Chain A
Amino acid sequence: KAGVTQTPRYLIKTRGQQVTLSCSPISGHRSVSWYQQTPGQGLQFLFEYFSETQRNKGNFPGRFSGRQFSNSRSEMNVSTLELGDSALYLCASSTGQLNTDTQYFGPGTRLTVL
């Protein structure tokens, strides 16, 4: 099975712009979660989508949003970019079965905000 894929792998944006990141989960997986990884804050949960519905959300401002399509692919959007949004954004996919689920991570999208 192919793993989790994320596009693009690298992005450079300037403050105030917006960005959209894409994630394609492992075939058959219905849950997609997003995480932000920074040297200072480590890995932090952004949100999870399951069957096109946001099922859980972390403590990030409303500038961070996402959605999931019927084929389970997910996009994450960050509006009005700030310098502090520079990070590695990781997507993880899983079957979505509660309490027995295991998340598999993609390679990430490295976002640099100038």
Chain B
Amino acid sequence: AQSVSQHNHHVILSEAASLELGCNYSYGGTVNLFWYVQYPGQHLQLLLKYFSGDPLVKGIKGFEAEFIKSKFSFNLRKPSVQWSDTAEYFCAVRVSGGYNKLIFGAGTRLAVHP
């Protein structure tokens, strides 16, 4: 069965620090990849997505992610975090032909201290 692994469950950073959240998936075929964010008290929001083409994708609020097919990875990055980035981040995968079934990772809770 397909699965998604997010390596860090909790991350604590100071403002202006750089962020990288890991995401690996297990599926050998074509995939679509997503990062969603859940701010405290709010619903899941799409940060960015990868379908095809340039493996480096840019999303909202200065986030970007790189798809490395050989490593089955889709890591999320931000060069300088802000206190307002405090949230839970979810990586999700949709396998080709899987209609709209998203397989989510367990999530990473990010706390940014001023």
A residues in contact (CB < 8 Å) with B: 31, 33, 35, 42-45, 48, 50, 55-56, 58, 90, 92, 94, 96, 98-108
Chain B binding site: helix, strand, loop or mixed by DSSP?
loop
**Across-interface contacts of B98 in A (CB, < 8 A):** 56
A96 contacts B100, CB within 8 Å?
Answer: yes
Contacts of B32 in A (CB 8 A): 99
- Separation of A100 and B43 alpha carbons in the complex (Å): 22
Closest residue of B by beta carbon distance from A59: B1
A3 to chain B, nearest CB (A): 8
Residue in chain B with minimal CB distance to A33 = B100
- Pair A107/B43 contact, Cβ less than 8 Å: yes
A31 to B94, CA, bound (A): 15
Question: Smallest distance from the beta carbon of A41 to chain B beta carbons, Å?
Answer: 9
Q: For residue B43, which residues in chain A have a CB less than 8 angstroms away from its CB?
A: 90, 105-108
CA distance A102 to B97 in the complex (A): 14
Smallest distance from the beta carbon of B49 to chain A beta carbons, Å?
Answer: 6
- Tally of A-B Cβ pairs under 8 angstroms: 60
User: Could you tell me how many residues of chain B have their Cβ less than 8 Å away from some Cβ of chain A?
Assistant: 24
B44 touches A105 (CB 8 A): yes
User: A104 vs B36: C-alpha distance in the bound complex, in angstroms?
Assistant: 10
A96–B44 alpha-carbon span in the complex (Å): 19
* A56, B34: Cα distance in complex, Å: 19
Chain-A contact segment, one of B19-27, B64-72, B75-83, B103-111: B103-111
Docked pose: A92 CA to B36 CA in angstroms = 12
Q: Is the CB of A94 within 8 A of B44?
A: no
Q: Are A98 and B99 in contact (CB under 8 A)?
A: yes
B100 touches A31 (CB 8 A): yes
A90 and B44 contacting across the interface, CB-CB below 8 Å: yes
Contacts of A108 in B (CB 8 A): 43
Contact A42 B104 (CB under 8 A): yes
Quote the shortest CB–CB distance from A50 to chain B (angstroms). 8
Q: Is the CB of A55 within 8 A of B100?
A: yes
Shortest CB–CB separation between residue B111 and chain A, in angstroms?
A: 17
